[in-house]
A and B are shown apart, each in its own frame.
Chain A
Amino acid sequence: MAEEATRAVPVVAPRPRRGRRDTSLLLGLVVLAAIVVLSAAASFVTKHDPVAQSLGDRLLPPMWASGGLARYPLGTDGFGRDALSRLLFGARISIAVGLGAVVLSGVMGTVLGLVAGYKGGWFEGVIMRLSDAQQALPPVLLAIIIVAVFGANIANLTVVLAVSSWVIYARVIFARTVVLRQREFVEAAYALGATTAHILFRHLLPNLWGQIMVISALQAGRMMLLEAGLSFLGLGVPAPAPAWGSMLADARTFVFITPWPAAIPGLAIVLTVWSINLIGEGLRQRYEPRG
């Protein structure tokens, strides 16, 4: 009964806007979808094993450069491994870690921000001081220490990235919740006897999805860069698994001989993060029409 009467109605509806900004959203989605499909179909796109070495074919340039072979469209690395298949299989790791970290930090930050904003009191104090403290600790540094202590694997990396980035969700959701809490529909729900959990997740949360999506898209790009950075420092997914950052770290030794093995995974990172950032910008323009 109360259930029906207090059904959620989003009060902050996205402003439907067509035009230029939607093209960046669309472009981002198309590029990202292409990357996801290619990496999911990796075993059909390339017949090379990403970890199989062929020492006779070391450091080949891509097929369009002089000396390149059609067998290795994007060339090979210092162990003669096929760059294309390493890129495609590596994309799975980068995307899984990035996505996992965004979902995990989003859930953590959103729940903490919601409760802190709605309940206030000592819980708000604890969460806000914790987020202050975390701002005094650069995410890269925190990640380096945690990975060094707990070891590097996909699960640990995801948790580390999530732990170092929940603060932005908590802060934004907290600030919005404090404002929304005073609206009539929240008071009405409370007066009708809705439980706190019901108000938080059925009334407040639906009005925060826009913000959550915008932060998530912008954070996904940062997460992938951070993951690549950790792999580059040797703190990512352990070898010989193909992660983009560690491909770059391996290639670094050879930049005096050939730039390709370093250039190509870097370009893949830029393209992927760029497509995600385009989606983020497009969403931001949609949900925050100012500016």
Chain B
Amino acid sequence: MRQFVARRLLQAPLSLLLVSVVVFVILNLTGDPVTVYLGTDATPERIAELRAQLGLDQSLPVQYVRFLRGVVRGEFGRSLTYDRPALGVVINHLGPTVRLAAVGLVLALVLGLTLGTAAAVRRGTWIDHLVGGFSVVGLSIPSFWLGIMLIVVFAVRLHWLPTSGMESARHYLLPAATLATFLAPQFTLVVRASLLDVIHEMYVTTARAKGLIEARILSRHVFQNALPPIIAFVGLQLGTLLGGAVVTETVFAWPGLGRLTIDAVSQRDVPVVEAAVIVLALGIVISNFAADLANALVDPRIRYE
């Protein structure tokens, strides 16, 4: 177990290091954020001054090392548009995204576990076919379009729910439903497949032969053994969840990290883009690690892999 945790702990910083290289290289291939930021009529002196201030007058490897040293200390430089430390700007926008993603994730998990289990237990019946059909349709809906249609129906036509803002629980309904519709079909299919993988095992037949009631067989024998692939999948979907949040936030004018990042990209606010990507990547790496750890705790086989 200790060895398992140690190996995973060593791999995590490596992923982050690679992410930082990729982001740094891509963002610096454009050359200069300075001309975009200052406009075309800036004086050469002002451009040179800002370039020196941002360290852009040095070679790329030197800049990367400086960048990396900053990342480790949590210093990404000042945001060009907010004129505040970039990390602070990112952290201010983190809360709304995490809350939205959490509500969407819980909703998707409840739906996915219920529908997936129903389909697996009633395999081959109309319930299974219906759930399967809905999942395939759900996988085909672009989340930004669903968001717009939900706004048309529930906000514009029926006036039941607000189109944007996040003051009350009612504001969470539409964006969270949009995110959940995008994740729930995938969870449903994975839950169904993982349960079916286990349901034909000998120990399940044995449990049945012993005369255990069906509910106990499901909870103790089937679910516990089907859990690892489900946990791993949920862990891996967090990147997709956050990606989906980027688009959903745009539709609902949600003041979160996704919209901040898109705005920062279009305004060439490089420090904010870098800080946002590293913070997101850190979140994903930590949650993948947590998923691995949860798996190792649930399933002893994984610890000795």
Report whether A145 and B243 are in contact in the complex, using a CB–CB cutoff of 8 Å.
no
Stretch at the interface among B40-48, B67-75, B144-152: B144-152
Residues on A with C-beta less than 8 A from B277 are 137, 141, 145
B16: nearest residue on chain A (CB-CB)?
Answer: A136
Residues on A with C-beta less than 8 A from B152 are 255, 259, 262-263
Stretch at the interface among B51-59, B105-113, B278-286: B278-286
Partner of A290, one of B16, B145, B197, B265: B197
Interface of B is mostly: helix
B19, B145, B236, B244 pick with most chain A CB within 10 angstroms: B145
Report whether A263 and B156 are in contact in the complex, using a CB–CB cutoff of 8 Å.
no
Report whether A133 and B243 are in contact in the complex, using a CB–CB cutoff of 8 Å.
no
Residues on A with C-beta less than 8 A from B87 are none
User: Does chain A have a CB within 8 A of B23?
Assistant: yes
CB of B30, distance to nearest CB on chain A (Å): 5
Contact with B along A124-160 (1 / 0, CB 8 A): 0000011011011111111011101110000000000
B192: nearest residue on chain A (CB-CB)?
Answer: A291
Contacts A229-B144, A262-B149, A274-B140; A141 near B280 (Cβ below 8 A): yes
User: Does chain A have a CB within 8 A of B290?
Assistant: no
- Give Cα distance in the complex from A290 to B194, angstroms: 10
Partner of A281, one of B136, B144, B146: B136
- Give Cα distance in the complex from A139 to B23, angstroms: 13
Residues on B with C-beta less than 8 A from A139 are 239-240, 243
Report whether B145 and A269 are in contact in the complex, using a CB–CB cutoff of 8 Å.
yes
- Give Cα distance in the complex from A245 to B148, angstroms: 12
User: Does chain A have a CB within 8 A of B261?
Assistant: yes
Residues on A with C-beta less than 8 A from B192 are 291
A138, A146, A229 pick with most chain B CB within 10 angstroms: A138
Contacts A138-B239, A138-B280, A270-B140; A144 near B265 (Cβ below 8 A): yes
Report whether B26 and A141 are in contact in the complex, using a CB–CB cutoff of 8 Å.
no
Residues on A with C-beta less than 8 A from B142 are 225, 228-229, 232, 245, 248, 266, 269-270, 273
- Give Cα distance in the complex from A232 to B137, angstroms: 21
User: Does chain B have a CB within 8 A of A75?
Assistant: no
Residues on B with C-beta less than 8 A from A290 are 193, 196-197
User: Does chain A have a CB within 8 A of B3?
Assistant: no
Report whether B239 and A266 are in contact in the complex, using a CB–CB cutoff of 8 Å.
no
Residues on B with C-beta less than 8 A from A146 are 26
User: Does chain B have a CB within 8 A of A221?
Assistant: yes
User: Does chain B have a CB within 8 A of A278?
Assistant: yes
Report whether A274 and B148 are in contact in the complex, using a CB–CB cutoff of 8 Å.
no
Contacts A130-B18, A136-B285, A148-B266; A270 near B139 (Cβ below 8 A): no
- Give Cα distance in the complex from A228 to B152, angstroms: 20
Report whether B145 and A262 are in contact in the complex, using a CB–CB cutoff of 8 Å.
yes
User: Does chain B have a CB within 8 A of A105?
Assistant: no
CB of A178, distance to nearest CB on chain B (Å): 14
Residues on B with C-beta less than 8 A from A216 are none
A271: nearest residue on chain B (CB-CB)?
Answer: B140
Contacts A149-B26, A248-B145, A277-B140; A132 near B14 (Cβ below 8 A): yes
Contacts A229-B142, A248-B145; A138 near B243 (Cβ below 8 A): yes
Contacts A229-B144, A262-B145; A135 near B262 (Cβ below 8 A): no
Report whether B140 and A148 are in contact in the complex, using a CB–CB cutoff of 8 Å.
no
CB of B276, distance to nearest CB on chain A (Å): 8
Contact with B along A245-262 (1 / 0, CB 8 A): 100100010011001001
Report whether B262 and A144 are in contact in the complex, using a CB–CB cutoff of 8 Å.
yes
**B residues apposed to A, CB below 8 Å:** 11, 14-19, 22-23, 26-27, 29-30, 132, 136-137, 139-146, 148-149, 151-152, 156, 192-193, 196-197, 236, 239-240, 242-244, 246-247, 250, 261-262, 265-266, 273, 277, 280-281, 284-285, 288
**3 interchain residue pairs of minimum CB distance:** A138-B243, A133-B18, A266-B145
Known pairs A139-B240, A145-B27; list 5 more (Cβ under 8 Å): A135-B15, A137-B22, A141-B246, A262-B145, A270-B141
27 chain-A/chain-B pairs, Cβ below 8 angstroms: A132-B11, A133-B17, A133-B19, A135-B239, A136-B15, A136-B281, A138-B243, A140-B246, A141-B242, A141-B246, A141-B280, A145-B23, A145-B26, A145-B27, A149-B26, A149-B27, A149-B29, A229-B247, A252-B148, A255-B156, A266-B149, A270-B137, A270-B140, A273-B142, A274-B140, A277-B139, A291-B193
